[in-house]
Amino acid sequence: MSRILIVEDHRAIAEGLGDNLEADGHEVRIAPDGLAAIASALEWRPDLVILDLMLPKRDGFDVLSTIRLRGATMPVMILSARGGETEKVRALTSGADDYVVKPFGLLELLARVQALLRRSAGHPVGAVPAESYSMGEITVDVPERRVTRAGEPVSLRPKEFDLLVALCRARGAVVSRADLLNRAWGYGPAVITRTVDTHVAALRQRLERDPDDPRIILTARKAGYRAVVDPTTESR
């Protein structure tokens, strides 16, 4: 059973979504405002947060940035009537893992919830071949969604892990920002965003011994990024 925090000030929406998530076997709590959301996210430590942006007391952006700064790494799905590109980019660069616009299709939303929970828990669907990569002291186990540095576990948010895998699978080749957006987020080529740069910076903070002098994830000027992967450690 997964624990899901719904942050929504519209009671009917919150209760309706909560009923459906409980019917799917999840434990649900509802926070009606931003202050209650921060307290619940940090104290209850849910497996997933579904977060509205337009909230009383503290808005969704403030909630998101606060819980991330305080070390909360659970996936966060934004569920908002604000569907503009600016809001989506701001949310994703602030640490959100998915963005759903109201009104939404219930079946699609439930499927997205399951996908985020599955990625976060490291439970891939069906039999998958072994796939791992080594970059110096960094090891990436793709099926287990596990990253270690010198044998010690490294905690990554779901999209940070997806981005790292996309770089690893390029086997040292440069991958453009547009391709990384498509591979890790499913965005088309028309989307222009700093999401990739922000997530690369976060990865360097977690993986590099000196983030200001990266040796694992390198920048290809005006072209994109590449990961320094040891090909002899890759298995499939």
> Where does residue 158 rank: exposed (0-12), middle (13-18), buried (19+ CB within 10 A)?
buried
pLDDT tens by residue, 30-42 = 999 999 999 999 9
pLDDT tens by residue, 67-120 = 988 888 899 999 999 888 888 888 888 889 899 888 878 878 888 898 888 877
**Residue 216 CA from chain centroid, whole number:** 21
- Domains of the chain are 3-121 (3.40.50.2300), 132-235 (1.10.10.10)
The answer on pLDDT for 64 being more than 60 is yes
- Between 129 and 192, whose confidence is greater? 192
* Paired tokens of 65: 């940035």
C-alpha pair distances (Å), 85 with each of 93, 99, 186: 12, 11, 15
The answer on pLDDT for 236 being more than 50 is no
C-alpha pair distances (Å), 112 with each of 77, 92, 227: 9, 15, 28
Can you list the alpha helix ranges (DSSP code H) found in the chain? Answer: 11-23, 34-44, 60-69, 85-93, 106-121, 158-169, 177-185, 195-207
Cα separation, 200 vs 108, whole angstroms: 29
- The structure tokens 């996936």 sit at 75
CA-based nearest residue to 112, from 185, 188, 221: 185
CB of 124 closer than 8 Å to CB of 146:
no
Neighbour count for residue 162 (Cβ, 10 Å)? 19
CB of 132 closer than 8 Å to CB of 235:
yes
Overall average pLDDT of the 170-183 stretch: 87
CB of 48 closer than 8 Å to CB of 113:
yes
* Paired tokens of 200: 């690369």
Percent of the chain with pLDDT over 90: 48
pTM: 0.59
Cα separation, 161 vs 125, whole angstroms: 17
**Band of residue 205 on the pLDDT scale cut at 50, 70, 90:** very high
